[in-house]
Structure 1
C-alpha cells in the first residue's frame, strides 16, 4: 500500500505516523492561510515551503555529514568530515541565491536531491532500499558511497505552528559502502560503518528551535543500532523519536536533552520518557555557523562525538552502548 499524496482533495494535510510510503508531497495543493485565515496564493505556497535532506556516515574513526537545503530565498549545500584521531574538522559550505542549482524532488521515497554550483556538485539519489551519495568539489575532493537496507523508516507528518505542518522520513543504522577522498587522504567504509538519512519538508514555524541526536553503528555482537531523537519539532501528539535494531524501527516517546549551551566541551545527556534511552555524549568536534540576515537567521552547532549508556529493546532488555559515534545538535532557525 502507498499513500499517493500527502494533501487531500480539500487541501488538508494528512497527519500521523505512516506505516506505508508517501509517494508525493503535493504541497502546492495545501490550503495555506494567513494568521487571519486569508487564503495564500500559489506563489506564496511555493515560497513558504522548505525542504532539506541530510545524510551522515559514522565509523569508529570518523564521521561524515552532508546536507542539501532549499529555503527558496537561498539554498545551502554543505559537507564535512571529522577525524577522531587527528581532531580535525574538514568542511565545505556553499550558498546559492533563490535556490539556483538546487533540486529536491518532493518525493520522499524516490526523489533526487542535488546542489550544483561552479565549485561543487552534490547528489543524493534513491535506489532500491537505499540511497547513493556523491560529492565532487574542485580537484581535491571526491566522495561516493551508498546506504543500504533502508526497509523500515520512520515516516510522520505533524502540525507546525498555527497553520503549518512538517513531514519527515528518517532512517538510522544503515550499512554503508564507499569512500571519501579529501586531498591526498582517503577514508573508507568497512563492515562496521553505519549511516542515517533525514528527508524533511513543510511549512515550518517562522522561528524554530530544536535539539537533535543521532547515532549509527554496530555492537560487538553484530547488532546494527541506529537512533534518532529530537525535541522542539514534530511534537504535536507524536514524536520523531525512534530506535533501529538490525534495521527494525521501534517508536520511542518524548526525549529530553541536558547540556551546557555555551560550553562546547561539556558532555550531554539524552533520555526518553519511556525509559528506553539513557545516553551520555562526549563531544569531540563541532561544525557551527551563525547567520543573521533579517528575514533568515540560523544559529547552528552540530557536534561529532561518542555515546555511552544504554537503550532498551521490545523485550525489556538493556542493550549497552559503548563507544558508538554520532551527532548532537543545537539549532535556532528563522525561515
Structure 2
C-alpha cells in the first residue's frame, strides 16, 4: 500500500505549490507554528488558530443549492440555501454553534467527514476515496432533506494547492467542479431528482493558518455543454496568490490551469454585473447576479462580511484548441471579508 501523502513534512513545514495527486492527510498539528517574533507556539495555539470549511454547490438550470460547514474554533457555522430559477423562489437557513460545538471537519480531504448539528438540524459531508464518492446529507427541522452522492471516481482531477498566508501561516485548498452527482432534494413540497435535472456538483475543501484579516473574491460555475461535455471552473483572487493560484477549469475532468484573474464589480450595487478576466486571456466573462446570500457578523475576536451570489455567466473561454461561449450558465460569485 502506498504511503499516505501528508501536507506537513519532517521539518514541520508544508510544501508549497500544486499537488498533482492531492493530499491524504492535513497533519496540521505537525506544523512548526510560530509567532511573528519566532516564538514557538504550543499545541493549544495550533488547534485554536486552525480554520476549516467545506462548501458544496449543486447546480442545474432547475435548482441551485449551496451547503457549507465552517469550523473557526471560536464558533461553528452551517448554512444551506436553495434557489429555483424558474420561479425565483429562494430560501436560506443558517445555524451557529458557539465554540464550534457539534461541529467537526476531519483533516482528510478525500477520506474524511464534515458534520454539523444544532437541535434537529443535521448536515454531513462524507468523502470516501474507495469507491470515490462524497455523500452529502442534510436534514432540517424546516422540512428540507438532501441526500446527494457526488462521483469522485470518474475523470476526477481536483486542484489541490498550498500557499503562504501572511508571515507565518499557510492555506490549503482543494477544488473541483462539474462533477457528476445523483440523489434527491426535498424542498417546499417538491422532490428534485438531481440526475434527472442534469445537476452537477462543485466541492471546495479548505483549511489552514489563515491571515488574521483577509478577503477574497470568487467565481465558480458547472454546466453541461450542448454536446454533452461537462464544463466547470474555479476562479479566485485575494487569498491563495503567493506563488500560485487556485484558478482552474475542468472540461470532462481534464484540468486546465488559469493565470491570475481580475474581478471587477460594484460592491454597493449587488445587482450589477461582474467582469472576470484572466491575465492569460483564457477567461473573458461577465456574471449577472440573480440573488444572494448575505451575512454580516462583527464581534470582539472575529468578523465577517459575506456576500455569495448565484446567477448566470456569459462570455468566452479560450482554450488552446477551441473557444467555448457561455450564454447564461448558472454559477456562483462571492465577495468576502474575514477577520479570525
TM-score in terms of structure 2 length: 0.95
Residue in structure 2 matched with residue 148 of structure 1 by the alignment: 151
Deviations 1:238-297 (A, max 9, x none): 000000000111111101101111001101111111111111111001100000012110
1:136 to 136, 139, 146: 139
Count of residue pairs brought into register by the alignment: 334
Deviation at 1:188, TM superposition (A): 2.7
User: 1:64 and 1:207 mapped to 2: Cα distance?
Assistant: 28
User: 2:46 and 2:152 mapped to 1: Cα distance?
Assistant: 35
Is the 2:313–2:326 contact (alpha carbons within 8 Å) kept by the matching residues of 1?
yes
Is the 1:307–1:324 contact (alpha carbons within 8 Å) kept by the matching residues of 2?
yes
Structure 2 unmatched ranges of 5 or more: none
Deviation at 1:185, TM superposition (A): 2.4
Is the 1:2–1:20 contact (alpha carbons within 8 Å) kept by the matching residues of 2?
no
Q: Which moved more, 1:4-13 or 1:107-116?
A: 4-13
Deviations 1:181-201 (A, max 9, x none): 124123332262211000000
Deviation at 1:139, TM superposition (A): 5.8
Residue in structure 1 matched with residue 41 of structure 2 by the alignment: 40
Q: Which moved more, 1:132-141 or 1:194-203?
A: 132-141
Residue in structure 2 matched with residue 331 of structure 1 by the alignment: 336
Deviation at 1:125, TM superposition (A): 1.0
User: 2:10 and 2:152 mapped to 1: Cα distance?
Assistant: 34
Q: Which moved more, 1:84-93 or 1:187-196?
A: 187-196
Is the 2:22–2:158 contact (alpha carbons within 8 Å) kept by the matching residues of 1?
no
Q: Does 1:182 align with 2:187?
A: yes
Is the 1:75–1:95 contact (alpha carbons within 8 Å) kept by the matching residues of 2?
yes
User: 1:113 and 1:99 mapped to 2: Cα distance?
Assistant: 12
Is the partner of 2:335 in helix, strand or coil?
A: strand
After superposition, where does 1:172-211 map in structure 2 within 5 Å? Answer: 172-189=177-194, 190=196, 192-211=198-217
RMSD: 1.3
Is the partner of 1:43 in helix, strand or coil?
A: helix
Q: Which moved more, 1:70-79 or 1:181-190?
A: 181-190
Is the partner of 2:220 in helix, strand or coil?
A: strand
Is the 2:109–2:127 contact (alpha carbons within 8 Å) kept by the matching residues of 1?
no
Is the partner of 1:5 in helix, strand or coil?
A: coil
Residue in structure 2 matched with residue 167 of structure 1 by the alignment: 172
Q: Which moved more, 1:81-90 or 1:198-207?
A: 81-90
User: 1:2 and 1:89 mapped to 2: Cα distance?
Assistant: 46
Q: Does 1:314 align with 2:315?
A: no
User: 1:130 and 1:327 mapped to 2: Cα distance?
Assistant: 23
Is the 1:2–1:23 contact (alpha carbons within 8 Å) kept by the matching residues of 2?
no
Is the 1:89–1:286 contact (alpha carbons within 8 Å) kept by the matching residues of 2?
no
User: 1:131 and 1:320 mapped to 2: Cα distance?
Assistant: 30
